[in-house]
Structure 1
Amino acid sequence: MKRIVLNAKALRTTTAVLAIVLAAAGCSDKATGGSGGTGSDGVKLGPGISADKIKVGIVSDLTGVYAPLGKSLTQAQQMYFEEVNAAGGVCGRKVEVVVRDHGYDVQRALAAYAELQPQVVGITQFIGSPMVTALKGRITTDKMFTIPMAWSTTLLGSDAIQVSGTTYDIDMINSLDFLMKDKGIKKGDKIGHVYFEGDYGESALAGSKHAAEKLGLTLVEQKIKATDNDMSAQVAALGNAKVKAILMSAGPRQSASLAGVARSKGIMVPIVVSNSGFSPQLLQTPAAPALLKDFYLASAGAPIGADLPAMKTLADAYAKKYPNQPRDNAVVNGYTSAKFFTDALKKACAGKDLTRDAVLKAHRSTTQHDDGFGTPVDFSKSDQPATRKTYILRTDAKALGGLVIEKQANESDLAKAYQVPVGK
């Protein structure tokens, strides 16, 4: 083995370089909030937390298939945290939001998470079941409090991931209950279900299959890809099957195509879409007439135009902050999610501990959260939806956000008894 001898000058140089590296590491650790220690106020610190700042992340879709949804969600959350900061912040600290766009691409989402992981306490918005499902193990290990803007059952079962309302399967079960009780569907009828391949669509399909079997209905399945925008073939198949109603678990573009083609072919059956299957901007397009005919949306949340004081305050504030921007249900989802994330931070602060673990425990201690925006939710069980109550909303061109309540939030007997397939 060759011996390496350092002279005094070389040793001093090496030591100096090492000192610079260590100092830089220390500065980086401070910039990202560090991974431990206690602040001068006695609060235990963690990633994303410094003496005067709390950094939270947003991983959204601002350029892909759900770009309109992502824009509303992100703007609503930015507005909420501006309000929080104007009122003094949280735990004596101002909240800073770090936004990344994945364009509804899983690989970009993985890269965005890797970038944010060391520098934020949690993620207040993460669009896409496929994206969050791909990261579920890492999010759980990192104890990264994450609120997906997705409602697949694959997202249940992790203390770190909070599905904010119902899951897609629960909504489809309650939707079939609505169709049976309110729209004349009866035992023996055929019901169509058009759905995206992957976590979102298959989660919704699990609910429709379960309910169809229990109710004596025949389900006619039509699986599509996220890149499929023309629903002509699917409508033809459902028309040939003589379905009496159609369920849709896809994006707004697909819903608009389905409704437009179906109505043009004289298929006037009720259409019920999952909660991410409609955007009010569609009512400004040629698809509007078709979308205003017996077209419904299943959602755990009340619409932004609902007659609720908290909702009216939010709608007015958003219009003032973002004039001429659509006020849709995504505004409500984003704002309320940021609110319950902040509530967890405040609870953790009361215990003098803002580490990720403490924030998660504070959140999971919440058995009933009701902020005046609709249905109360329970955050204490990670393996269960926060609620099993679904609103049935109807399109209305004159309503703010394009939706009105057709049927108040309801938990059907089938939904109550249903065993949610956690992590599947």
Structure 2
Amino acid sequence: MSSRVKGTRKALSRATAAATALAALLALGACSSKAKDDDGGGGTSAGGVKTGKGVSGKTIHLGALTDMTGVYATLGKSVTQAQRLYVDQANAAGGICGHQLELTVRDHGYDPQKAVAAYTELEPDVLGFTQFIGSPFVAAVKQRVDGTDKGLVLPQAWSANLLGSPYVRVLGSTYDLETINAIDFLMKEKGLKKGDKLGHVYFEGDYGENALKGSTYMAKQAGLTVVEQKIKPTDNDMTAQVSALKKAGVEAVVISAGPRQAASLVGVAAAGRFDVPIIGNNSAFAPQLLATQSGPALQKNYYVASPTLPIGADTEAAQKLVADYRKAYPKDSLDNGVVAGWTAAAVFGEALKKACAKKDLTREGVDEALLTIDDFDTGFGVPQDFTDPKAPSSDKSVILRPDKSATGGMKVVREARAAEETKGYTPGA
């Protein structure tokens, strides 16, 4: 999420300008991938299990394409460390299908060229990817994944534009569905009603514009008027947006941006006595914000829609993950990136186990195994169904509220639920 190193703004500002270079890199990458493909081959391991790319000897090779130094560095670090923890525990228990897991991580720093280059580098040698942060970057390689590569990719991205592939699978509700659920919460529990104006502050591009589809749809169904405020990832001061929304007379606000933008929006609104409920998508919060000047306002008037229960949930699975993570990384804080990373690794692991049972650890075998998983819950309150590639694995959202006293900085204010309006909505349509 929010970066703790210099250079983030520069990296982000290059994203649009790099479009031409990105296209060229994709073409080169495809050639590189094909050349390496010719050297590949299948085989059969002990026990008659069929193997292929990404499996060598007694090792299953997995890849992780993350952001450890860019705009989502907080998320990337938590996701990656949770996945390393999963791999370590799985290996200590004997591995999967008699194989040890090996996770190779590449940090792309939320740079489009680095992201595609890292995919091109690792793809020939891994069975699939347990994470890929950045929906634009996933979209950039999706044609290759679907056309020739066919290795399972579990992105840390929730854009509905990624749906439709049997190989790129969104975990949890997409941003548009999540936004519909968020507005349902505002209407059911925060006083937003028919005829009101709803503000929506959103990033330009895939993430924000997919979330906007959800608010536009919900507004039509519920008789609301959406007041849009489009921003860039480099826009960190939300003073102008708050002024515009206050002048427009909105009664609530949705923010589909990053943690910095959410903190600024909530803090500026509080300072200007603009006392309306504000709710963000799952990418719009980091517990580190509670230690900033915006902390008190975030705890008073801010909510977050999440695909799962938080890391501090009162479940046996959550408590075990908290204890294990703290033991492995005693100097690092807990946040919901830990849940996201662990969930993705556990889903990939479950697909490997089912593929092993059918004696097929090839990419195709793992992809087919995932399609049989229809009710998988890692203990964080929302079962996942992967049987339909055209749909996200869930349409439900948990509503959370920042709380400095809670483990991970979040507490549940509404359990997992899908708004009635989601039933008549097709994600990404």
Question: Is TM > 0.5 for Structure 1 vs Structure 2?
Answer: yes
Q: Does the Cα contact within 8 Å between 1:33 and 1:48 map onto a contact in 2? A: no
Structure 1 residue 86 and structure 2 residue 92: aligned? Answer: yes
Structure 1 residue 35 and structure 2 residue 38: aligned? Answer: no
One-letter amino acid of the structure 1 residue matched with residue 74 of structure 2: P
Structure 1 residue 306 and structure 2 residue 313: aligned? Answer: yes
Cα separation, 1, equivalents of 2:90 and 2:341 = 14
Cα separation, 1, equivalents of 2:333 and 2:389 = 33
Instruction: Specify the alignment match of 1:99 in structure 2.
Output: 105
Cα separation, 1, equivalents of 2:109 and 2:285 = 18
Cα separation, 2, equivalents of 1:419 and 1:45 = 37
Give the secondary-structure state (helix, strand or coil) at the position aligned to 1:246. Answer: strand
Q: Does the Cα contact within 8 Å between 1:29 and 1:35 map onto a contact in 2? A: no
Instruction: Specify the alignment match of 1:122 in structure 2.
Output: 128
Q: Does the Cα contact within 8 Å between 1:153 and 1:167 map onto a contact in 2? A: yes
CA-CA distance at 1:139 after TM superposition: 1.5
Unaligned runs of 5+ in 2: 1-34
CA-CA distance at 1:138 after TM superposition: 1.0
Kindly report which structure 2 residues correspond to 1:148-167, keeping only aligned pairs within 5 A, or say none. Answer: 148-167=155-174
**CA deviations over 1:187-235 (Å, ceiling 9, x no partner):** 1111100001111001100000000111011100011111111111111
Instruction: Specify the alignment match of 1:331 in structure 2.
Output: 338
Cα separation, 2, equivalents of 1:139 and 1:237 = 42
Q: Does the Cα contact within 8 Å between 2:310 and 2:380 map onto a contact in 1? A: no
2:243 paired residue among 228, 236, 249: 236
CA-CA distance at 1:175 after TM superposition: 1.1
Instruction: Specify the alignment match of 1:53 in structure 2.
Output: 59
Structure 1 residue 249 and structure 2 residue 249: aligned? Answer: no
Cα separation, 1, equivalents of 2:260 and 2:160 = 24
Structure 1 residue 67 and structure 2 residue 73: aligned? Answer: yes
Q: Computing the radius of gyration over CA atoms, which structure comes out larger, 1 or 2?
A: 1
Kindly report which structure 2 residues correspond to 1:12-31, keeping only aligned pairs within 5 A, or say none. Answer: none
Deviates more, 1:282-291 or 1:394-403: 282-291
Cα separation, 2, equivalents of 1:45 and 1:232 = 56
CA-CA distance at 1:324 after TM superposition: 2.7
Instruction: Specify the alignment match of 2:14 in structure 1.
Output: none
Q: Does the Cα contact within 8 Å between 2:50 and 2:361 map onto a contact in 1? A: yes
1:136 paired residue among 117, 139, 142: 142
Q: Does the Cα contact within 8 Å between 2:198 and 2:250 map onto a contact in 1? A: yes
Q: Does the Cα contact within 8 Å between 1:34 and 1:49 map onto a contact in 2? A: no
Q: Does the Cα contact within 8 Å between 1:33 and 1:45 map onto a contact in 2? A: no
Q: Does the Cα contact within 8 Å between 1:33 and 1:49 map onto a contact in 2? A: no
TM-score for the superposition, normalised by structure 2: 0.90
Q: Does the Cα contact within 8 Å between 1:40 and 1:51 map onto a contact in 2? A: no
Cα separation, 1, equivalents of 2:70 and 2:377 = 32
**CA deviations over 1:70-112 (Å, ceiling 9, x no partner):** 0000000000100000000111111001000111111111000
Q: Does the Cα contact within 8 Å between 1:148 and 1:161 map onto a contact in 2? A: yes
Q: Does the Cα contact within 8 Å between 2:266 and 2:301 map onto a contact in 1? A: no
Structure 1 residue 195 and structure 2 residue 202: aligned? Answer: yes
Give the secondary-structure state (helix, strand or coil) at the position aligned to 1:220. Answer: strand
Cα separation, 1, equivalents of 2:150 and 2:41 = 13
Give the secondary-structure state (helix, strand or coil) at the position aligned to 1:100. Answer: strand
Instruction: Specify the alignment match of 1:8 in structure 2.
Output: none
Instruction: Specify the alignment match of 1:286 in structure 2.
Output: 293
Cα separation, 2, equivalents of 1:304 and 1:143 = 32
Q: Does the Cα contact within 8 Å between 1:33 and 1:119 map onto a contact in 2? A: no
Deviates more, 1:370-379 or 1:303-312: 370-379
CA-CA distance at 1:34 after TM superposition: 4.1
Runs of 4+, deviation exceeding 3 Å = none
Instruction: Specify the alignment match of 2:22 in structure 1.
Output: none
Q: Does the Cα contact within 8 Å between 2:352 and 2:369 map onto a contact in 1? A: yes
Unaligned runs of 5+ in 1: 1-27
